[in-house]
Amino acid sequence: MNQVIETILQHRSIRKFEDRPLSDEQIRTIVECAQAASTSSFIQAYSIIGVKNKETKRKLAELAGNQSYVEHNGHFFVFCADLHRHEIVGEMENVDLSSALESTEKFMVALIDTALAAQNAVIAAESMGLGVCYIGGLRNNLPEVCELLKVPKRVIPLFGIAVGYPAQNPDKKPRLPFHHVYHEETYQQDRSELENQLKQYNETISSYYKNRTNGERQDTWTRQMANMLSKQVRMYMKEFVESKGFNLK
Amino acid sequence: MNQVIETILQHRSIRKFEDRPLSDEQIRTIVECAQAASTSSFIQAYSIIGVKNKETKRKLAELAGNQSYVEHNGHFFVFCADLHRHEIVGEMENVDLSSALESTEKFMVALIDTALAAQNAVIAAESMGLGVCYIGGLRNNLPEVCELLKVPKRVIPLFGIAVGYPAQNPDKKPRLPFHHVYHEETYQQDRSELENQLKQYNETISSYYKNRTNGERQDTWTRQMANMLSKQVRMYMKEFVESKGFNLK
């Protein structure tokens, strides 16, 4: 196993950091690694906002649901889907690009582009001995996040990444069974097989939680997912992304 | 610079492969690396279909716009946004999850989850000396791709990844200027500054193409983007993703 694969397989989310900022060189390397990711038709449809300001971080933490590690970390990155520069391109080249920019296809492209860049940033940071945590909680309050970070139309902050020197060493969380996620030749639709795999996974997750909490937490994956997905959260999202000029046609 | 960062920064898309299949062990490692990526609230909203069958690859190549490297490679992965298993979860736990599953928020979550996993797969493959190329062209004909790969409702193939032993050694393509993509504290909206950065980048890209084609290709990034985005492509996407049960509310 090489160093790259070792880094990738060692990933755990870190939610407690030392009080020690990243250097500008570390930040630059992380962003350059993000930019090295593949991008659909070279479109480069994302921007990254780096936040050091303590007051901004404190407000972001509040907006994300009071997660302390949004405030306390070595650096906070906000990854944004961005077609604002392509609107400028249209004006520079005197072509109306609005149909493409407002399409669901380009909404998907911008989301995928942003996520590919982000994951490169994460792997790069982890390879330097840093820990990371993705912060989807920013999507709880996107209008406020946009106002705070002065984000224009055709830009959507998708998630944050808190980065820093780890002050905890959590366990790796077991993933869904390999053959539940990886299908050979065609999507395997045998219903009883899929259910059996989920039941098997429930046992894995159940013992994982029991071991970590001295038997206190009794939870399965399907129960956890059913709880999470029975809540209607962020239902403003469709209207919000449309108001930003995305996903309209 | 460590081996991880070196691998990430060395990335180029490979579009010509040796006629040599990946081993099952290589495939397994790549998929396990994909699964190690972060996932929003542990939702794991993706599946991966691995294609070895020559006839399936030939058809996928045709559907993706006749790209030969979709047919000729060491292995072909199709990365799918997947909330099908969460629908099964709802039935197993006897809860109606359709509101969440049909929300734009969970559409975004599934896209981001899939892309994070894919980029881990890519970095892992490249660290083994393999080359990769993302194939967004699958989105040209998603109904046919879904039929060919027997993909059920609540699953959308987002892109393919062709992987194999490289039979070419292309140059790295220069990215947008660092300070155009990376903003400090807030999104930098100064319009003339943004335009200047794009003009500067046009010069970089222009010399890159000239150098590669002995002066023949005269292209800038803004022109290339304006051309690409003035075409209305894949405008069926909104209706298609809705028909798959995504992005409805």
Please check whether residue B223 lies inside any domain of the structure: no
Please check whether residue A228 lies inside any domain of the structure: no
Q: Quick check: B7 pLDDT over 90?
A: yes
CA–CA distance, A99 with A93 (Å, rounded to integer): 16
Report the SS3 class of residue B30.
helix
| Residues A159 and A203 both lie in one domain | no
Which of B171, B200, B228 delimits the end of a domain?
B171
Please check whether residue A224 lies inside any domain of the structure: no
What is the pLDDT, as a whole number, of residue B196? Answer: 97
Bin A6: left if φ > 0, else alpha if -120 < ψ < 50, else beta: alpha
| Residues A163 and A93 both lie in one domain | yes
Q: Quick check: A1 pLDDT over 90?
A: no
| Residues B199 and B117 both lie in one domain | no
What is the pLDDT, as a whole number, of residue A142? Answer: 98
Please check whether residue A142 lies inside any domain of the structure: yes
Q: Across all residues in chain A, what is the average pLDDT? A: 97
| Residues A82 and A199 both lie in one domain | no
What is the pLDDT, as a whole number, of residue B218? Answer: 86
Question: Contact A183/B9, CB-based, under 8 Å?
Answer: no
| Residues A60 and A15 both lie in one domain | yes
Domain membership of residue A91 as a residue range: 3-170+233-243
Q: Establish whether this prediction's ipTM goes over 0.95.
A: yes
pLDDT band at B229 (very low <50, low <70, confident <90, very high): very high
What is the pLDDT, as a whole number, of residue B35? Answer: 98
Q: Quick check: A139 pLDDT over 90?
A: yes
Interface of A with B in 59-88 (CB under 8 A): 80, 85-86, 88
Question: To the nearest whole angstrom, how far is the Cα of B69 from the nearest Cα of chain A?
Answer: 16
What is the pLDDT, as a whole number, of residue A92? Answer: 97
Residues 6+ apart with CB under 8 A from B159: A112, B78, B79, B118, B134, B135, B136, B138, B139
| Residues A72 and A182 both lie in one domain | no
Please check whether residue A47 lies inside any domain of the structure: yes
In a mutagenesis test of the B interface, which of A1, A2, A5, A52 is the best target, namely the one with the most B β-carbons within 10 Å?
A: A5
Q: Could you give the angle at which helices A84-92 and B221-230 cross, rounded to 10 degrees?
A: 100
Given a contact cutoff of 8 angstroms between Cβ atoms, the answer to whether A132 and A163 are in contact is yes
CB pairs A-B closer than 8 Å: 344
What sign results for the dihedral spanned by CA atoms A155, A160, A161, A165? positive
| Residues B187 and B203 both lie in one domain | yes
In a mutagenesis test of the A interface, which of B149, B229, B247, B248 is the best target, namely the one with the most A β-carbons within 10 Å?
A: B229
Please state the rounded mean pLDDT for residues B187-198.
Answer: 97
What is the pLDDT, as a whole number, of residue A76? Answer: 98
| Residues B111 and B196 both lie in one domain | no
> Residue B164: in which H helix or E strand, if any?
strand B155-164
| Residues B76 and B187 both lie in one domain | no
CA–CA distance, B180 with A143 (Å, rounded to integer): 23
pLDDT band at A218 (very low <50, low <70, confident <90, very high): confident
CA–CA distance, B95 with B87 (Å, rounded to integer): 9
Question: Contact A182/B47, CB-based, under 8 Å?
Answer: yes
Please state the rounded mean pLDDT for residues B36-62.
Answer: 98
Which of B171, B192, B208 delimits the end of a domain?
B171
Residue whose C-alpha is closest to residue A98's, from A84, A109, A111, A110:
A84
Q: Distance of CA B172 to CAs B118, B149, B207, Å? A: 20, 33, 13
Q: What is the pLDDT of residues A10-21, one digit of tens each?
A: 999 999 999 999
Q: Which residue type sits at B207?
A: S
What is the pLDDT, as a whole number, of residue B1? Answer: 85
CA–CA distance, A90 with A88 (Å, rounded to integer): 5
Question: Contact A247/B226, CB-based, under 8 Å?
Answer: no
| Residues B154 and B86 both lie in one domain | yes
In a mutagenesis test of the B interface, which of A150, A182, A228 is the best target, namely the one with the most B β-carbons within 10 Å?
A: A182
CA–CA distance, B171 with B6 (Å, rounded to integer): 15
Please state the rounded mean pLDDT for residues A105-116.
Answer: 98
Q: Which of B4, B31, B237 sits opposite A103 (nearest CB)?
A: B237
Please state the rounded mean pLDDT for residues B149-176.
Answer: 97
Please check whether residue A150 lies inside any domain of the structure: yes
Residue whose C-alpha is closest to residue A193's, from A173, A175, A177, A174:
A177
Given a contact cutoff of 8 angstroms between Cβ atoms, the answer to whether B35 and B116 are in contact is no
| Residues B102 and B51 both lie in one domain | yes
Q: Quick check: B122 pLDDT over 90?
A: yes
| Residues A128 and A199 both lie in one domain | no
Please check whether residue A248 lies inside any domain of the structure: no
Percent of chain B with pLDDT over 70: 100
Q: What is the pLDDT of residues A67-98, one digit of tens each?
A: 999 999 999 999 999 999 999 999 999 999 99
The DSSP letter of residue B172 is: P
Q: Which residues of A touch B103 (CB under 8 A)?
A: 232, 234-235, 237-238
For chain B, the domain total comes to 2
Judged by a CB distance cut-off of 8 A, whether residue A228 touches chain B is yes
Judged by a CB distance cut-off of 8 A, whether residue B169 touches chain A is no
Please check whether residue B15 lies inside any domain of the structure: yes
Q: CA geometry: angle at B26 spanning B21 and B27, to 5°? A: 80
Question: Contact A150/B189, CB-based, under 8 Å?
Answer: yes
Q: Distance of CA A94 to CAs A98, A208, B35, Å? A: 12, 58, 44
CB atoms inside a 10 Å sphere around CB B24? 10
CA–CA distance, A89 with A225 (Å, rounded to integer): 42
What is the pLDDT, as a whole number, of residue B174? Answer: 97
What is the CATH classification number for the domain harbouring B83? 3.40.109.10
